[in-house]
Amino acid sequence: MEVEGNGQYEQACDAALGWIARLRSDQASAADRESFALWLGEHTSHRSAMDQMLELWDDLGVLQMLPDATPAELPREAANQNRWYAGAVAVAATVMLAVFLYPQLGSDPVSNEYRTAVGERLIVDLPDDSQVVLNTDSSISVTYSEDQRHIDLRRGEAWFQVTSDKDRPFHVDSGETRVTAVGTAFNVYRLQDGTDITVTEGVVRVSEIVETGAHKPATQMLQVNQQLRTRSDGWLLSPPSDFSTRLAWRQGELVAEEMPLIELVAELERYHDTNYLIADPSIARLTISGVLQLDEPEAILKALEVSLGVQADTLESGTVRLLKADQ
Protein backbone atom coordinates (compact mmCIF):
# COMPACT_ATOMS: atom_id res chain seq x y z
CA MET A 1 0.00 0.00 0.00
CA GLU A 2 1.33 3.43 -0.96
CA VAL A 3 1.77 5.68 2.04
CA GLU A 4 1.82 9.46 1.71
CA GLY A 5 4.73 10.81 3.71
CA ASN A 6 3.36 14.13 4.83
CA GLY A 7 1.77 15.66 7.88
CA GLN A 8 -1.69 15.61 6.34
CA TYR A 9 -1.53 11.85 5.88
CA GLU A 10 -0.27 11.35 9.45
CA GLN A 11 -3.24 13.34 10.68
CA ALA A 12 -5.52 11.15 8.56
CA CYS A 13 -3.99 8.03 10.15
CA ASP A 14 -4.54 9.45 13.62
CA ALA A 15 -8.14 10.23 12.71
CA ALA A 16 -8.61 6.71 11.28
CA LEU A 17 -7.44 5.15 14.55
CA GLY A 18 -9.85 7.38 16.40
CA TRP A 19 -12.73 6.28 14.16
CA ILE A 20 -11.88 2.59 14.60
CA ALA A 21 -11.76 2.93 18.39
CA ARG A 22 -15.01 4.88 18.47
CA LEU A 23 -16.97 2.60 16.15
CA ARG A 24 -15.84 -0.53 17.97
CA SER A 25 -16.92 0.84 21.34
CA ASP A 26 -20.34 0.55 22.96
CA GLN A 27 -20.86 4.31 22.79
CA ALA A 28 -20.97 4.74 18.99
CA SER A 29 -24.17 6.45 17.84
CA ALA A 30 -25.94 6.83 14.52
CA ALA A 31 -24.57 10.38 14.33
CA ASP A 32 -21.03 8.99 14.73
CA ARG A 33 -21.53 6.61 11.82
CA GLU A 34 -22.91 9.41 9.63
CA SER A 35 -19.93 11.61 10.49
CA PHE A 36 -17.60 8.74 9.64
CA ALA A 37 -19.26 8.39 6.22
CA LEU A 38 -18.63 12.06 5.54
CA TRP A 39 -15.02 11.87 6.74
CA LEU A 40 -14.26 8.80 4.63
CA GLY A 41 -15.46 10.54 1.49
CA GLU A 42 -13.75 13.86 2.09
CA HIS A 43 -10.36 12.90 0.64
CA THR A 44 -8.65 9.97 -1.02
CA SER A 45 -6.04 9.96 1.75
CA HIS A 46 -8.72 9.09 4.31
CA ARG A 47 -9.50 5.78 2.66
CA SER A 48 -5.81 4.97 2.29
CA ALA A 49 -5.21 5.84 5.94
CA MET A 50 -8.19 3.71 7.03
CA ASP A 51 -6.86 0.74 5.04
CA GLN A 52 -3.46 0.95 6.69
CA MET A 53 -4.77 1.50 10.21
CA LEU A 54 -7.14 -1.45 9.88
CA GLU A 55 -4.18 -3.65 9.02
CA LEU A 56 -2.50 -2.47 12.20
CA TRP A 57 -5.67 -2.93 14.28
CA ASP A 58 -6.02 -6.62 15.03
CA ASP A 59 -5.11 -7.50 11.43
CA LEU A 60 -8.55 -6.42 10.27
CA GLY A 61 -7.87 -5.11 6.76
CA VAL A 62 -11.44 -5.69 5.62
CA LEU A 63 -11.49 -2.72 3.26
CA GLN A 64 -9.25 -4.78 1.01
CA MET A 65 -12.38 -6.78 0.21
CA LEU A 66 -14.20 -3.71 -1.09
CA PRO A 67 -14.35 -2.94 -4.82
CA ASP A 68 -11.51 -0.76 -6.09
CA ALA A 69 -12.73 2.80 -6.24
CA THR A 70 -11.28 6.24 -5.74
CA PRO A 71 -13.73 8.09 -3.51
CA ALA A 72 -14.10 11.72 -4.33
CA GLU A 73 -15.20 14.46 -2.00
CA LEU A 74 -18.63 13.50 -0.67
CA PRO A 75 -21.01 15.70 -2.71
CA ARG A 76 -23.35 18.05 -0.93
CA GLU A 77 -24.88 18.99 -4.28
CA ALA A 78 -24.59 16.72 -7.31
CA ALA A 79 -22.86 19.08 -9.73
CA ASN A 80 -22.52 16.31 -12.27
CA GLN A 81 -23.12 12.59 -12.60
CA ASN A 82 -19.47 11.59 -12.17
CA ARG A 83 -19.10 13.42 -8.85
CA TRP A 84 -22.36 11.93 -7.61
CA TYR A 85 -21.20 8.40 -8.53
CA ALA A 86 -17.87 8.83 -6.73
CA GLY A 87 -19.64 10.05 -3.60
CA ALA A 88 -22.07 7.13 -3.75
CA VAL A 89 -19.14 4.71 -3.92
CA ALA A 90 -17.69 6.26 -0.77
CA VAL A 91 -21.00 5.88 1.06
CA ALA A 92 -21.38 2.29 -0.17
CA ALA A 93 -17.85 1.53 1.08
CA THR A 94 -18.80 2.89 4.47
CA VAL A 95 -21.91 0.73 4.65
CA MET A 96 -19.88 -2.36 3.75
CA LEU A 97 -17.31 -1.41 6.38
CA ALA A 98 -20.05 -1.28 8.99
CA VAL A 99 -21.27 -4.72 7.91
CA PHE A 100 -17.83 -6.35 8.07
CA LEU A 101 -16.33 -4.56 11.05
CA TYR A 102 -19.23 -3.58 13.28
CA PRO A 103 -22.09 -6.04 12.84
CA GLN A 104 -23.61 -5.21 16.22
CA LEU A 105 -23.45 -1.43 16.04
CA GLY A 106 -26.58 0.46 15.18
CA SER A 107 -28.79 -2.62 15.09
CA ASP A 108 -32.15 -2.42 16.79
CA PRO A 109 -32.67 -4.65 19.84
CA VAL A 110 -34.04 -8.06 18.90
CA SER A 111 -36.97 -9.16 21.06
CA ASN A 112 -38.87 -12.44 21.17
CA GLU A 113 -41.37 -14.08 23.51
CA TYR A 114 -41.57 -17.74 24.43
CA ARG A 115 -44.15 -19.52 26.55
CA THR A 116 -45.22 -23.01 27.55
CA ALA A 117 -48.62 -24.46 28.33
CA VAL A 118 -49.37 -26.45 31.45
CA GLY A 119 -47.41 -29.69 31.29
CA GLU A 120 -45.19 -28.50 28.44
CA ARG A 121 -41.40 -28.00 28.40
CA LEU A 122 -39.52 -26.01 25.78
CA ILE A 123 -35.84 -25.67 24.87
CA VAL A 124 -34.93 -22.28 23.38
CA ASP A 125 -31.60 -21.66 21.63
CA LEU A 126 -30.68 -17.97 21.93
CA PRO A 127 -28.74 -15.93 19.31
CA ASP A 128 -25.46 -16.07 21.30
CA ASP A 129 -25.57 -19.89 21.70
CA SER A 130 -26.95 -19.59 25.22
CA GLN A 131 -29.86 -21.89 26.00
CA VAL A 132 -33.06 -21.67 28.01
CA VAL A 133 -35.24 -24.56 29.16
CA LEU A 134 -38.76 -23.44 30.08
CA ASN A 135 -40.74 -25.42 32.61
CA THR A 136 -44.50 -25.88 32.67
CA ASP A 137 -46.78 -22.81 32.34
CA SER A 138 -43.88 -20.38 31.94
CA SER A 139 -43.28 -17.24 29.89
CA ILE A 140 -40.18 -15.19 29.04
CA SER A 141 -39.39 -12.14 26.96
CA VAL A 142 -35.92 -12.09 25.35
CA THR A 143 -34.28 -8.84 24.24
CA TYR A 144 -30.77 -8.74 22.76
CA SER A 145 -29.07 -5.40 22.07
CA GLU A 146 -25.50 -4.34 21.34
CA ASP A 147 -24.65 -3.82 25.00
CA GLN A 148 -26.68 -6.39 26.95
CA ARG A 149 -28.74 -9.57 26.91
CA HIS A 150 -31.97 -9.22 28.84
CA ILE A 151 -34.54 -11.85 29.83
CA ASP A 152 -37.78 -11.04 31.60
CA LEU A 153 -39.22 -14.09 33.38
CA ARG A 154 -42.86 -13.11 33.43
CA ARG A 155 -44.21 -16.36 34.82
CA GLY A 156 -43.06 -19.78 35.90
CA GLU A 157 -39.60 -21.34 35.90
CA ALA A 158 -36.61 -21.48 33.55
CA TRP A 159 -33.08 -22.86 33.54
CA PHE A 160 -30.36 -20.89 31.76
CA GLN A 161 -27.06 -22.08 30.27
CA VAL A 162 -25.20 -18.86 29.47
CA THR A 163 -22.44 -18.37 26.92
CA SER A 164 -19.76 -16.03 28.27
CA ASP A 165 -19.61 -12.53 26.77
CA LYS A 166 -17.94 -10.02 29.08
CA ASP A 167 -18.97 -7.12 26.83
CA ARG A 168 -22.68 -7.98 27.03
CA PRO A 169 -23.94 -8.95 30.49
CA PHE A 170 -26.74 -11.50 30.73
CA HIS A 171 -29.62 -10.33 32.95
CA VAL A 172 -32.70 -12.25 34.06
CA ASP A 173 -35.40 -10.17 35.76
CA SER A 174 -38.04 -11.87 37.90
CA GLY A 175 -40.33 -9.38 39.56
CA GLU A 176 -38.16 -7.22 41.82
CA THR A 177 -35.13 -9.52 41.48
CA ARG A 178 -32.36 -9.39 38.86
CA VAL A 179 -29.90 -12.23 38.24
CA THR A 180 -26.71 -11.34 36.34
CA ALA A 181 -24.34 -13.97 34.97
CA VAL A 182 -21.44 -14.33 32.55
CA GLY A 183 -20.70 -17.90 31.49
CA THR A 184 -22.66 -19.95 33.99
CA ALA A 185 -25.85 -21.98 34.51
CA PHE A 186 -28.68 -21.28 36.91
CA ASN A 187 -32.38 -21.81 37.55
CA VAL A 188 -34.96 -19.09 38.26
CA TYR A 189 -38.41 -19.90 39.64
CA ARG A 190 -40.83 -17.01 39.96
CA LEU A 191 -43.43 -17.37 42.70
CA GLN A 192 -46.26 -15.12 43.83
CA ASP A 193 -44.31 -13.85 46.81
CA GLY A 194 -40.75 -13.89 45.45
CA THR A 195 -38.16 -15.80 43.44
CA ASP A 196 -35.96 -18.86 43.97
CA ILE A 197 -32.52 -18.78 42.30
CA THR A 198 -30.40 -21.94 42.13
CA VAL A 199 -26.87 -21.98 40.68
CA THR A 200 -25.75 -25.17 38.95
CA GLU A 201 -22.53 -23.85 37.43
CA GLY A 202 -20.26 -20.83 37.95
CA VAL A 203 -21.22 -17.67 39.83
CA VAL A 204 -24.14 -15.24 39.53
CA ARG A 205 -24.96 -11.92 41.13
CA VAL A 206 -28.47 -11.40 42.46
CA SER A 207 -29.61 -7.85 43.01
CA GLU A 208 -32.80 -6.13 44.02
CA ILE A 209 -34.51 -3.92 41.45
CA VAL A 210 -35.52 -0.80 43.33
CA GLU A 211 -37.26 1.96 41.41
CA THR A 212 -37.19 4.47 44.26
CA GLY A 213 -34.43 5.76 46.49
CA ALA A 214 -36.19 4.58 49.63
CA HIS A 215 -33.45 2.09 50.48
CA LYS A 216 -30.22 0.69 49.12
CA PRO A 217 -30.78 -2.33 46.83
CA ALA A 218 -29.75 -5.68 48.31
CA THR A 219 -27.18 -7.77 46.46
CA GLN A 220 -25.81 -11.30 46.89
CA MET A 221 -23.19 -13.37 45.07
CA LEU A 222 -24.15 -17.03 44.57
CA GLN A 223 -21.79 -19.87 43.78
CA VAL A 224 -22.45 -23.33 42.40
CA ASN A 225 -24.87 -25.46 44.46
CA GLN A 226 -26.24 -22.45 46.32
CA GLN A 227 -29.87 -21.36 46.38
CA LEU A 228 -31.33 -17.98 47.31
CA ARG A 229 -34.95 -17.29 48.12
CA THR A 230 -35.97 -13.65 47.75
CA ARG A 231 -39.13 -12.57 49.52
CA SER A 232 -40.69 -9.23 50.42
CA ASP A 233 -39.81 -9.83 54.08
CA GLY A 234 -36.15 -10.76 53.38
CA TRP A 235 -33.75 -13.07 51.58
CA LEU A 236 -32.81 -16.58 52.67
CA LEU A 237 -29.55 -18.16 51.47
CA SER A 238 -29.43 -21.95 51.66
CA PRO A 239 -26.17 -23.75 52.52
CA PRO A 240 -24.36 -25.46 49.63
CA SER A 241 -26.20 -28.59 48.55
CA ASP A 242 -26.87 -30.82 45.56
CA PHE A 243 -29.97 -29.37 43.92
CA SER A 244 -29.92 -31.70 40.92
CA THR A 245 -33.02 -33.54 42.13
CA ARG A 246 -34.84 -30.23 42.45
CA LEU A 247 -34.12 -29.53 38.78
CA ALA A 248 -35.04 -33.00 37.49
CA TRP A 249 -38.06 -31.40 35.78
CA ARG A 250 -35.73 -30.67 32.85
CA GLN A 251 -35.80 -34.42 32.13
CA GLY A 252 -39.53 -34.65 32.81
CA GLU A 253 -39.01 -36.19 36.24
CA LEU A 254 -40.10 -35.43 39.76
CA VAL A 255 -37.69 -36.80 42.37
CA ALA A 256 -39.57 -37.29 45.63
CA GLU A 257 -37.62 -37.80 48.83
CA GLU A 258 -40.01 -38.38 51.71
CA MET A 259 -42.35 -35.88 50.02
CA PRO A 260 -45.66 -35.37 51.88
CA LEU A 261 -48.72 -36.18 49.80
CA ILE A 262 -49.99 -32.62 50.13
CA GLU A 263 -46.78 -31.33 48.48
CA LEU A 264 -46.94 -33.98 45.77
CA VAL A 265 -50.49 -32.90 44.90
CA ALA A 266 -49.33 -29.27 44.58
CA GLU A 267 -46.59 -30.36 42.16
CA LEU A 268 -49.01 -32.46 40.10
CA GLU A 269 -51.30 -29.46 39.70
CA ARG A 270 -48.38 -27.45 38.30
CA TYR A 271 -47.98 -29.92 35.45
CA HIS A 272 -51.56 -30.98 34.70
CA ASP A 273 -54.90 -29.23 34.22
CA THR A 274 -56.40 -31.37 36.95
CA ASN A 275 -57.54 -30.50 40.45
CA TYR A 276 -56.60 -32.96 43.20
CA LEU A 277 -58.63 -33.11 46.37
CA ILE A 278 -57.34 -34.85 49.48
CA ALA A 279 -60.67 -35.97 50.91
CA ASP A 280 -59.20 -37.84 53.89
CA PRO A 281 -57.07 -35.64 56.23
CA SER A 282 -55.39 -38.73 57.63
CA ILE A 283 -53.45 -39.29 54.41
CA ALA A 284 -52.34 -35.68 53.84
CA ARG A 285 -48.99 -36.16 55.57
CA LEU A 286 -48.17 -39.58 54.20
CA THR A 287 -44.85 -39.40 52.36
CA ILE A 288 -43.62 -40.90 49.13
CA SER A 289 -40.12 -41.43 47.70
CA GLY A 290 -39.05 -42.30 44.18
CA VAL A 291 -38.56 -40.96 40.67
CA LEU A 292 -41.92 -40.09 39.16
CA GLN A 293 -42.55 -39.34 35.47
CA LEU A 294 -44.33 -36.00 35.20
CA ASP A 295 -45.88 -36.90 31.85
CA GLU A 296 -47.54 -40.00 33.31
CA PRO A 297 -50.03 -38.87 36.00
CA GLU A 298 -51.94 -42.16 35.88
CA ALA A 299 -48.75 -44.04 36.75
CA ILE A 300 -48.17 -41.70 39.69
CA LEU A 301 -51.67 -42.31 41.01
CA LYS A 302 -51.10 -46.05 40.66
CA ALA A 303 -47.86 -45.71 42.66
CA LEU A 304 -49.80 -43.94 45.43
CA GLU A 305 -52.26 -46.77 45.55
CA VAL A 306 -49.55 -49.43 45.77
CA SER A 307 -47.15 -47.69 48.17
CA LEU A 308 -49.48 -45.62 50.36
CA GLY A 309 -52.83 -47.37 50.10
CA VAL A 310 -54.37 -44.23 48.60
CA GLN A 311 -57.38 -44.55 46.31
CA ALA A 312 -57.96 -42.08 43.46
CA ASP A 313 -61.49 -41.43 42.17
CA THR A 314 -62.27 -39.09 39.28
CA LEU A 315 -65.43 -37.05 39.87
CA GLU A 316 -67.78 -35.78 37.15
CA SER A 317 -66.16 -32.34 37.36
CA GLY A 318 -62.78 -33.88 36.46
CA THR A 319 -61.39 -33.41 39.96
CA VAL A 320 -59.36 -36.35 41.26
CA ARG A 321 -60.36 -37.23 44.82
CA LEU A 322 -57.78 -38.94 47.01
CA LEU A 323 -58.84 -40.95 50.04
CA LYS A 324 -57.73 -43.92 52.05
CA ALA A 325 -58.31 -47.18 50.21
CA ASP A 326 -60.87 -49.57 51.71
CA GLN A 327 -59.26 -52.11 53.96
Predicted confidence (pLDDT) at residue 219 exceeds the cutoff of 50: yes
Percentage of the chain lying above the pLDDT 90 cut? 55
| More confident call, 102 vs 236 | 236
Predicted confidence (pLDDT) per residue in 238-297, tens digit: 988 989 999 999 999 999 999 999 999 999 999 999 999 999 888 998 999 999 999 999
Q: Which domains does the chain have, with CATH numbers?
A: 7-101 (no CATH), 110-238 (2.60.120.1440), 252-324 (3.55.50.30)
pLDDT at 43: 73
pLDDT at 6: 61
pLDDT at 305: 92
Task: Please check whether residue 193 is in contact with residue 231, taking contact to mean a CB–CB distance below 8 angstroms.
Answer: yes
C-alpha 13/C-alpha 194 separation (Å) is 55
Task: Please check whether residue 238 is in contact with residue 229, taking contact to mean a CB–CB distance below 8 angstroms.
Answer: yes
Is the pTM here over 0.85, yes or no? no
Predicted confidence (pLDDT) at residue 218 exceeds the cutoff of 90: no
| More confident call, 102 vs 301 | 301
pLDDT at 77: 42
Predicted confidence (pLDDT) at residue 97 exceeds the cutoff of 90: no
Predicted confidence (pLDDT) per residue in 13-37, tens digit: 778 778 777 777 666 676 677 677 7
pLDDT at 59: 47
Q: Which residues of 268-306 are buried (b: 16+ CB within 10 A; e: fewer)?
A: bebbbeeebebeeeebeebebeeebebeebeebbebbee
Confidence of residue 8 (pLDDT cuts 50, 70, 90): confident
Mean pLDDT score, 181-194? 92
| CA distance to 112, 131, 150, per residue, from 125 (Å) | 12, 5, 14
Mean pLDDT score, 50-75? 51
Mean pLDDT score, 46-52? 78
Torsion of CA 170, 172, 176, 177, to 10 degrees: -80
3-state DSSP call for residue 61?
Answer: coil
